[in-house]
Amino acid sequence: MSKNFEDFGFNKQVLSAIADAGYQQPTPIQQKAIPPILNGQDVLGIAQTGTGKTAAYVLPIIMKLKYAQGNDIRSLIVAPTRELAMQIDENVKKYATYTDLRSYVIYGGLGPKTQIENLGKGLDILIATPGRFMDLYLDGHINTKKLQVLVLDEADKMMDMGFMPQINKILEVVPRKRQNMLFSATMSERVEKLAENFLLWPTKIEVTPQATPATTVEQVLYHVPNFKTKINLLKVFVEDDPEVKKLIIFCRSRATAENVYRFLVRRFNESHVKVLHANKGQNTRINSINAFKNDEVRILVATDVAARGIDVSDVSHVINFDVPIIYEDYVHRIGRTGRAYNSGKAVTFCNEAEVYYIRKIEKLIRQQIPQKEIPKKVFIEETPFAESQAIARQIDEQKRKENPDFKGAFHEKKTPAQRAKFKASKNKNGKFKTGAKKRNR
């Protein structure tokens, strides 16, 4: 197995770019993936996020394409989100810096005019989100006849996000004779089925068990009863813990992300914290990521739109303010810390309804997340009635999912006292008056 990048037979231009990037030796995924890719084989790669997966396929693509040629794309890399596509484009430009290869990224959310102009100038490597690629292809701005290499990155996420129809269309409009690669941190049966359909005798590379978090990430779980107590516990991390140098806080919904962001802005100000979710405009999202990358702010609040595609090497902590419902997203979230062999810490806040998802996550990652007691200085708030009802309803739904015969707390037989209370309230509202008269006779 190659111990040094020189062992792969890379040319001087590629080796100089690797040296500039500060890489000393290849990571396990790079050691296993680069030789078969250089050899022209189809590759199915499964590796944790933050282990050098992008370089594992970009470096050999640059080596194979060597120099700029013609106007039509020769390599296409498809990614599920704008953020990840932009990050891949950054990497391609970094690794191709000593070549004349031309790369460009296209994604939705912006008007296509500038993208069309850049496509018209001629390209070797195109990075794209599926929807925008198909739009511009169908409008005649992309020619795939010269395509030699197709990469699907984060294939599981593309399937979760409903991109399967676009992926199938892309597979229909690219040449049959081409090299294919499919990479992801998690690999479900559905993705393996997709792999069977478009990979020809692939070399399967699995550098760690599927969906295993990086060993450099320390995981911790706190059982927290409600939203307000979660905020109180968060306060301890952002104000009192000197180890929290750079932090991403993940929330399940845009509304929660906004609430957490507003709380943090009140505690500090906008010069310390940014928020990132799908409701934000593209420029705002780019500015937020760049401010975080460049250490202009130390806290980023985000929904799962940012769980993949933020490549920041020095994130000290990730806090899961909410437990993700899509279990694989847990691996991607916590993979934002402990990157490039640095150590990191992933902290998860979990209410009673989220225990169900924690059990599923632990089964997926094949390990138990260590639990800690809430520090004594954290004030435990009473759970408001509406929130406790919502939690009870979620638990009912989970039980019903596991056991279709389960009737649920909201459907169980009422006690005599509950029945009397129910009838009294109905009578008060003017219903069942006839019955009431009969009983009073």
Residues 297, 247: Cα–Cα separation, whole Å: 10
Average pLDDT over residues 312-316: 81
Q: Which residue has the tokens 């790669």?
A: 45
Angle at 195 between CA 193 and CA 200, to 5 degrees: 125
Least confident piece of the model among 43-52, 221-230, 244-253: 43-52
Q: Which own/partner pairs from 1-8 qualify as long-range (CB within 8 Å, at least 24 positions apart)?
A: 1/31, 1/32, 2/26, 2/31, 2/34, 2/35, 8/34, 8/35, 8/38, 8/59, 8/60, 8/63
Is residue 427 pLDDT above 80, yes or no?
no
Is residue 41 pLDDT above 80, yes or no?
yes
Is residue 321 pLDDT above 90, yes or no?
yes
Residues 74, 150 contacting (CB under 8 angstroms): no
Is residue 439 pLDDT above 50, yes or no?
no
| pLDDT greater at residue 409 or residue 26 | 26
| pLDDT greater at residue 147 or residue 344 | 147
| pLDDT greater at residue 124 or residue 315 | 124
Q: What is the pLDDT of residues 100-119, one digit of tens each?
A: 999 999 998 888 999 999 99
The whole-number pLDDT of residue 37 equals 95
The helix/strand/coil state of 251 is coil
Start-to-end CA span in the chain (Å): 93
pLDDT band with cut points at 50, 70 and 90 for residue 340: low
Residues 43, 54: Cα–Cα separation, whole Å: 13
Average pLDDT over residues 294-302: 90
Is residue 207 pLDDT above 90, yes or no?
no
Side-chain half-sphere exposure of 327, counting CA atoms within 13 A: 18
Least confident piece of the model among 81-85, 132-136, 331-335: 331-335
Residues 208, 228: Cα–Cα separation, whole Å: 38
Q: Which residue has the tokens 């006779």?
A: 441
| Same fold yes or no, 5-206 and 217-382 | yes
C-alpha separations of 124 from 174, 313, 390 in Å: 15, 28, 52
Quote the strand ranges of 247-313, DSSP E. 247-250, 273-276, 299-302
The whole-number pLDDT of residue 432 equals 44
Is residue 245 pLDDT above 70, yes or no?
yes
Backbone angles phi, psi at 128, to 5 degrees: -150, 150
Q: Could you tell me the fold of the domain covering 217-382?
A: Rossmann fold (3.40.50)
Angle at 215 between CA 363 and CA 95, to 5 degrees: 115
Average pLDDT over residues 319-347: 83
Count Cβ neighbours within 10 Å for each residue of 419-428 and write b for 16 or more, e otherwise: eeeeeeeeee
Which amino acid would we find at residue 349?
F
Backbone angles phi, psi at 310, to 5 degrees: -105, 105
Average pLDDT over residues 423-436: 54
User: DSSP class of residue 353?
Assistant: G
From 391, 346, 388, 386, select the one nearest 369 (Cα to Cα): 346
Q: What is the dihedral of CA 59, 60, 64, 66, to 10 degrees?
A: 20
The whole-number pLDDT of residue 132 equals 94
Q: What is the pLDDT of residues 351-381, one digit of tens each?
A: 999 999 999 999 888 889 999 999 999 999 9
Is residue 235 pLDDT above 90, yes or no?
yes
Task: Pull the structure tokens for residue 233.
Answer: 């516990």
The whole-number pLDDT of residue 410 equals 56
Q: What is the pLDDT of residues 411-422, one digit of tens each?
A: 544 556 666 666
pLDDT band with cut points at 50, 70 and 90 for residue 201: confident
Q: Which of 88-102, 151-165, 208-222 has the highest mean pLDDT?
A: 88-102
Backbone angles phi, psi at 153, to 5 degrees: -100, 140
Residues in the chain: 441
Residues 295, 317 contacting (CB under 8 angstroms): no
The whole-number pLDDT of residue 92 equals 96
Is residue 161 pLDDT above 70, yes or no?
yes
The count of other CB atoms within 10 Å of the CB of residue 190 is: 13
Residues 207, 45: Cα–Cα separation, whole Å: 8
Least confident piece of the model among 97-101, 190-194, 215-219, 339-343: 339-343
Residues 73, 126 contacting (CB under 8 angstroms): yes
pLDDT band with cut points at 50, 70 and 90 for residue 285: confident
Task: Pull the structure tokens for residue 304.
Answer: 């799962």
Residues 186, 366 contacting (CB under 8 angstroms): no
Mean pLDDT (the chain, rounded): 85
Q: Where are the domains of the chain?
A: 5-206, 217-382
**Does the pTM of the predicted model rise above 0.75?**
no
Least confident piece of the model among 7-16, 178-187, 249-258: 178-187
CATH superfamily for 5-206 is P-loop containing nucleotide triphosphate hydrolases (3.40.50.300)
Residues 128, 89: Cα–Cα separation, whole Å: 9
